Structure 1
Amino acid sequence: MKILFLGDVVGRAGRDAIVARLPGLRRDLAADLVVLNAENASHGFGLAPDMARAFLEAGADVLTLGNHAWDRKEIVPYIEGEPRLIRPMNYPPGTPGRGATVVDLPGGRRALVLQVMARLFMEPLDDPFRAAQAELARHTLGASGSVQAIVVDIHGEATSEKQGFAHSFDGRVSLVAGTHTHVPTADHQVLEGGTAFISDAGMCGDYDSVIGMQKGGASIRFWRKVPSERLAPAEGEATICGVLVQTDDATGLATAIAPVRVGGRLSQALPS
């Protein structure tokens, strides 16, 4: 199976790039499953239902959120009725939506996608390790298992926590991909037990920016510790960032992981 995982979509630049280029990218990479983090799609803060629908129509199978999940209030009723949109599963009980979903794929295959939010330098949510452990206990991975792929989006600030999470579940999931910091890391690898990992998949947005936001307003906040104007997304050409993972059909574990960077200012990268 080929899994395309794309990092945080930021603002109009990121939205337009995904809607325009994801259909062709999915076709050219022959991706069986596409997972997209969409929590910054609406002006950099949250996701609106019409944007979610546009991403799904463009070819995303599952959308994930994060710490900006609730910035657009209209997402609350939408997430209750759309199983392809998930939020971190370690939010407290009673939080709207769900933290995991199983997707039916062509050929009778199924994939589990789940999201957790890390806790270092983030909101103090429930334990992401134990939340993932409980969900994974309900599934078996592989050709004869209940799912043929398992993808985890760990949304967090600290690379150490993301790495610790990945090693904790090495051999039990197909891919652990970090999101949130908006900068693609160069540590993509297949771990010893067969789980593909990257500390952060990067963002789908304009990199002539401060993590997707216009440079002036974002930079001045580091000079002056006083409130300034609301941050606004940069609007130049976006780079679509993520990874493509190849899994073994028998085990569901990864055999290869490669970076994906298309358009915009960053060096381009596509799997050979």
Structure 2
Amino acid sequence: MNILILGDIVGRVGRRGVKEVIPRILEKHMVDFIIANGENAAGGNGLTPEIAQELFAAGINVLTMGNHTWDKKEIFTIINDEARIIRPANYPPGTPGQGYGIFRVNGKNVAVVNLMGRVFMAELDCPFRKMDEILLELQDVDYIIVDFHAEATSEKIALGWYLDGRVSLVFGTHTHVPTADERILPGGTAYITDVGMSGPLNSVIGVKTNLVLQKFLTQMPQRFESASGPYIVSGILVSLTEDGKAENITRIQYIEGE
């Protein structure tokens, strides 16, 4: 099983990037399933039904989310019914949407789980204990993929070790900066702290640089806007064996014009 993971899609530039890059990746690599984080896809904050459908039409099979899940009120019209949109599972009970989904791919059952960290983030339920609960619920599943949307690298690495040997892949999202620590852990779980961003190249994690600089220089409130210009698309390709373990994880990156 070959899985393509694309980093946080940021705004119009990020959407254009993934739509142009996915066909290029499929020409070079055999890919069975595509997952992308979509919580910034609508103007840099949130997701709308129209944009979700745009991304599904581009070939993405599942969209995971994060702390910007609820930023666009339109999400409430589809979050309960669209199985391909997965929000963090460790939101409190009763929160709309689903924290994981099981998808049939080439005769195999692939579970996709979304969790959110708590260090420098909202105080949600414990992601470690929530994942333990989910693992008890996942029956007859061949592969388990986890998007850990978190700020602190230590928390992400800790979850990777916590789940080593129990899931196929743990990948981090949220910081929009790809890390160079992709590896296969001793128990056979593929891991990377952050897969990076699919968004504006000349920006500060997707936001117009002048707005971010003003924020840092003045400490005054700024209304952030997604940057324009060329895109960067970051992600990983992961190969999984028949027994649910990882055999390869490779970082990928595409920059418009290169």
Asked if these proteins are the same fold (TM beyond 0.5), I'd say yes
Are 1:26 and 1:59, in contact at CA under 8 Å, matched by a contact in 2?
A: no
Aligned to 1:169: 163
Aligned to 2:26: 26
Aligned to 1:113: 112
User: What stretches of structure 1 of length at least 5 have no aligned partner?
Assistant: 141-145
Greater strand content: 2
Which portions of structure 1, spanning 4 or more consecutive aligned residues, are displaced by more than 6 angstroms? Answer: none
Aligned to 2:236: 243
For each residue in 1:243-268, what CA deviation from the matched residue of structure 2 results, as whole angstroms up to 9, or x when unmatched?
Answer: 1111111x111011000101248xx8
Aligned to 2:7: 7
- Structure 2 CA distance for aligned equivalents of residues 182 and 261 of structure 1: 13
- Structure 1 CA distance for aligned equivalents of residues 40 and 247 of structure 2: 31
2:153 to 150, 159, 167: 159
Query: Helix, strand or coil for the counterpart of 1:239?
Result: strand
Aligned to 1:223: 217
1:42-81 to structure 2, matched below 5 A, reads 42-81=42-81
Q: Is 2:187 the counterpart of 1:209?
A: no
Are 2:168 and 2:188, in contact at CA under 8 Å, matched by a contact in 1?
A: yes
Are 2:230 and 2:255, in contact at CA under 8 Å, matched by a contact in 1?
A: yes
Aligned to 1:138: 137
1:259 to 248, 251, 255: 251
For each residue in 1:51-96, what CA deviation from the matched residue of structure 2 results, as whole angstroms up to 9, or x when unmatched?
Answer: 1111111111110010000000001121111001010000011111
- Structure 1 CA distance for aligned equivalents of residues 241 and 52 of structure 2: 30
How many residues get paired? 258
Q: What is the TM-score with the length of structure 1 in the denominator?
A: 0.92
Aligned to 2:85: 85
Q: Is 2:182 the counterpart of 1:183?
A: no
- % identity of equivalent residues: 45
Q: Give the C-alpha shift of residue 27 in structure 1.
A: 4.5
Q: What is the TM-score with the length of structure 2 in the denominator?
A: 0.97
